[in-house]
């Protein structure tokens, strides 16, 4: 699990019966992140990998790969605020998943909630997708719409989006853990069993 912030999506995964026992490492680029604390509270290995401790992005990414061990079954991103380099993504091709606070392909990037409000959309939502070498671009596993209500600000809309993330992300990761996801190009098919 890679996370930079408070770790609410991590907590949702930890609390899910199908997923929680599979989380073995939480890595954050920010010291003292809530995600690290949540991992420690559960007895899960929690690592702060400080980008300032490396001379460049390539060196950081090599250290990241060493910690993740390319044989990992699945890498989940939950608010990890660093763009992963192509070598990292390739090492986990088909085994890396992300949750994003919009209905992709609309509003990719770090400001999806603000962008949705600025555009005046009536509907935004949550997307869980496989990670590829482009930002917020990979094949879509699950999506769910969230209505933008009159008077919404960033905090109120984001709170409703997070409530959906906390339900949808564990469901998607559970499908991956159960071997029920087949990716064919950009199309994701969910199967009845492994």
**What pLDDT sits at residue 69?**
84
Please report whether residue 3 resides in a domain. Answer: no
Please report whether residue 192 resides in a domain. Answer: no
Where do we find the tokens 């790969």? 65
Domain with 133 in it = 8-186
Question: Structure tokens of 176?
Answer: 């991956």
Question: Residue 126 — φ and ψ, nearest 5°?
Answer: -135, 140
User: With a cut of 50, which residues of the chain have pLDDT below it?
Assistant: none
For residue 127, what are the contacts with CB-CB under 8 A and spacing of at least 6? 99, 100, 102, 103, 104, 136, 140, 142, 143
Question: Residue 67 — φ and ψ, nearest 5°?
Answer: -70, -35
**Chain centroid to CA 3: how far?**
8
Residue 20: count other Cβ atoms within 10 Å of its Cβ: 16
CA angle in degrees (0–180, nearest 5) for 192-1-153: 90
Please report whether residue 194 resides in a domain. Answer: no
Assign residue 158 the CATH number of its domain.
3.40.50.170
Please report whether residue 147 resides in a domain. Answer: yes
Average pLDDT, rounded, for the chain = 95
Domain count, the chain: 1
Please report whether residue 163 resides in a domain. Answer: yes
**What pLDDT sits at residue 193?**
65
Residue 190, SS3 per DSSP: strand
Q: Which of 109, 97, 143 is nearest to 123 (CA)?
A: 143
Question: Structure tokens of 47?
Answer: 């690592």
Peptide bond into 105 cis (omega under 30): yes
**What pLDDT sits at residue 42?**
96
| pTM over cut 0.85 | yes
Q: Is 48 a catalytic residue?
A: no
Share of the chain above pLDDT 90, in %: 94
Please report whether residue 2 resides in a domain. Answer: no
Distances from the Cα of 58 to the Cα of 65, 73, 167, angstroms: 10, 23, 34
Which member of 100, 129, 158, 166 is catalytic? Answer: 100
56, with CB counted inside 10 A (0-12, 13-18, 19+), is exposed
Question: Residue 78 — φ and ψ, nearest 5°?
Answer: -140, 85
H helices of the chain, where? 8-15, 34-41, 57-68, 86-91, 112-119, 154-177
Question: Structure tokens of 168?
Answer: 């949808």
């Amino acid at each position: 699990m890679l996370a930079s912030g408070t770790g609410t999506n991590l907590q949702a995964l930890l609390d899910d019966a199908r997923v929680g026992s599979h989380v073995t490492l939480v890595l954050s680029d920010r010291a003292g992140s809530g995600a690290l604390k949540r991992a420690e509270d559960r007895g899960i290995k929690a690592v702060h990998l400080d980008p300032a401790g490396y001379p460049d992005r390539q060196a950081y990414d090599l250290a990241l790969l060493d910690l993740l061990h390319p044989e990992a079954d699945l890498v989940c991103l939950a608010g990890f605020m660093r763009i992963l380099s192509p070598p990292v993504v390739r090492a986990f091709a088909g085994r890396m998943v992300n949750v994003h606070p919009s209905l992709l392909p609309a509003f990719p990037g770090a400001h999806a909630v603000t962008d949705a409000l600025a555009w005046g959309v009536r509907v935004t939502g949550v997307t869980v997708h496989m990670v590829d070498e482009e930002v917020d671009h990979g094949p879509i596993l699950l999506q769910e719409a969230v209505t933008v209500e009159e008077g919404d600000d960033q905090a109120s809309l984001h709170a409703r989006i997070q409530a959906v993330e906390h339900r949808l992300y564990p469901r998607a990761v559970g499908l991956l853990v159960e071997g029920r996801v087949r990716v064919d190009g950009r199309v994701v098919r969910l199967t009845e069993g492994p």
